[in-house]
Amino acid sequence: SAEGESKVKRVNLARVEDISTYTKKIERADACLIALGASAPHHMHLQQWLSVEIDLIRTIAEFCNTIQVRSISLLSAVDVENESAVPFTKEEIESYGEGALGWIKMIILYMRVKGLEEKAVIESASDVQYIRIFQPNTIVTEEPRYGWFDATLFRLHKLVDRYLPSQYHSVDVRLLGAAMVADAKTKLQEREDLGSQQDVAMLSYEDYVSVAGKAFQDRLTANKDEL
């Protein structure tokens, strides 16, 4: 805010279309953090998944553009390349039917969907000065979200993280959240005038540790419960 105060407003939306009505209640904001998505896309059919990951997120980005935020932070995924993401045709979507995708089809389509998600934000927020795309690998949570699969993956990362390239290092959800907030604050403090140019940046594990602070990461490591 102009006064430098942190103001959090909780808004419950019954429909995606309702977002546009909030321009009357939220006329201006500094930053927008988008960290939503389908929790179990393998249980959805393709159109459902796209409606969340692309249509909903595009609508939010358009809203943030309307209220003139200076920075948008998007939670994406490691190795996503939005420039090569090809939109789904109507016939292609229909070919997948209305049944659940399942794990195999979801994994095959995942990078393409996330690429289209990134592209939707970049294109829909054309007036936003900073687009910050966070591309983590495995996000470690206190409670596994997907049962034995997550639990096994978390244990595996504890063994191999030190040997992996930094972008494939797992990241504690608390470190990731702290990094998204700290990075947005840093961008808001910058006074560089980019004119009509849009600054789009991809951030990975080393960036999270850098922006949130090494001390924060060390505390997490010291206090982390055994998985």
Lowest mean pLDDT segment, chosen from 40-44, 63-67, 94-98, 188-192: 188-192
| Unique residue bearing structure tokens 């993280």 | 161
Lowest mean pLDDT segment, chosen from 18-22, 92-96, 129-133: 18-22
Residue 21 has pLDDT above 90, yes or no: no
Lowest mean pLDDT segment, chosen from 55-64, 138-147, 153-162, 174-183: 138-147
Residues paired with residue 139 on neighbouring β-strands, in sequence order: 171
Has this prediction a pTM greater than 0.85?
no
Residue 94 has pLDDT above 90, yes or no: yes
Q: Residue 227's pLDDT is what?
A: 35
Nearest to 188 by CA among 135, 130, 134, 133: 130
* Contact of 205 with 136, CB cutoff 8 Å: yes
- Where do the H-state alpha helices sit in the chain? 46-50, 57-66, 90-95, 102-124, 148-160, 173-189, 205-212, 214-223
